[in-house]
Amino acid sequence: MDSFDIFKKLSVGAKFKKPEKIAIKPENEKSSAKQVKIKTVGDNVPPALSTFDLMKKTYSLSPVLMENLNKSGYTEPTPIQTQAIPVMLQKRQIFACAPTGSGKTAAFLVPVIHHLNKPLNKGFRALIVSPTRELAKQTLRECTRLCEGIGLRAHTFTKINKDKEKFNPKLAQKFDILIATPNRLVFLLQQEPPAVELDNIEWLIIDESDKLFETGVRGFRDQLATIYKACGPNAKRAMFSATYTVEVAKWSKKNLDGLVAVTVGNRNTTTTTVEQDLVFVGNEEGKLIAMRDLVKKGLTPPVLIFLQSKERAKELFSELIYDGINVDAIHSDRTQQQRDNTVKAFREGKIWVLICTELMGRGIDFKGVNLVINYDFPSSAISYIHRIGRTGRAGRSGKAVTFFTNDDKPMLRRYFLFLCKIFSLLYN
Asked whether the whole model's pTM tops 0.85, one would answer: no
Tens-digit pLDDT profile for residues 123-164: 899 999 998 888 898 899 999 999 999 999 999 987 655 555
Q: In terms of DSSP bridges, do strands 38-41 and 260-264 run parallel, antiparallel, or are they unpaired?
A: antiparallel
**Which amino acid does the sequence have at 95?**
F
Q: In terms of DSSP bridges, do strands 274-282 and 20-24 run parallel, antiparallel, or are they unpaired?
A: antiparallel
For residues 131 and 218, is the Cβ–Cβ distance under 8 A? no
Mean pLDDT of the chain: 80
Tens-digit pLDDT profile for residues 202-221: 999 999 877 777 766 556 77
Query: What one-character DSSP code corresponds to residue 382?
Result: H
Angle at 329 between CA 324 and CA 335, to 5 degrees: 135
Q: What is the mean pLDDT of residues 236-243?
A: 88
Main-chain dihedrals φ then ψ at residue 113, nearest 5 degrees = -65, -40
What does the alpha-carbon distance between residue 297 and residue 299 come to, in Å, rounded to a whole number? 7
Q: What is the mean pLDDT of residues 168-180?
A: 81
Specify the 3-state DSSP secondary structure of 330: strand
The confidence score (pLDDT) of residue 159 equals 64
H/E element holding 105? helix 104-116
The residues near 33 (Cβ < 8 Å, ≥ 6 apart) are 395
The confidence score (pLDDT) of residue 373 equals 92
C-alpha pair distances (Å), 342 with each of 115, 323, 329: 36, 20, 8
Residue 284 φ/ψ region, left for φ over 0, alpha for ψ in the -120 to 50 degree band, beta for the rest = alpha
Confidence at 31, pLDDT banded by 50, 70, 90: very low
Query: What one-character DSSP code corresponds to residue 368?
Result: T
Q: How far is CA 322 from the centre of its chain?
A: 32
Residue 20 bridge partners (DSSP): 280
H/E element holding 140? helix 133-147
Q: Which residue, 386, 331, 426, 399, is CA-closest to 97?
A: 386
What does the alpha-carbon distance between residue 391 and residue 85 come to, in Å, rounded to a whole number? 25
Q: What is the mean pLDDT of residues 184-205?
A: 90
**334 pLDDT exceeds 50?**
yes
For residues 374 and 384, is the Cβ–Cβ distance under 8 A? yes
Q: Where are the alpha helices (DSSP H) in 271-362?
A: 284-297, 310-322, 336-347
H/E element holding 405? strand 398-405
Confidence at 16, pLDDT banded by 50, 70, 90: very low
Tens-digit pLDDT profile for residues 274-303: 788 888 898 989 999 999 999 888 888 889
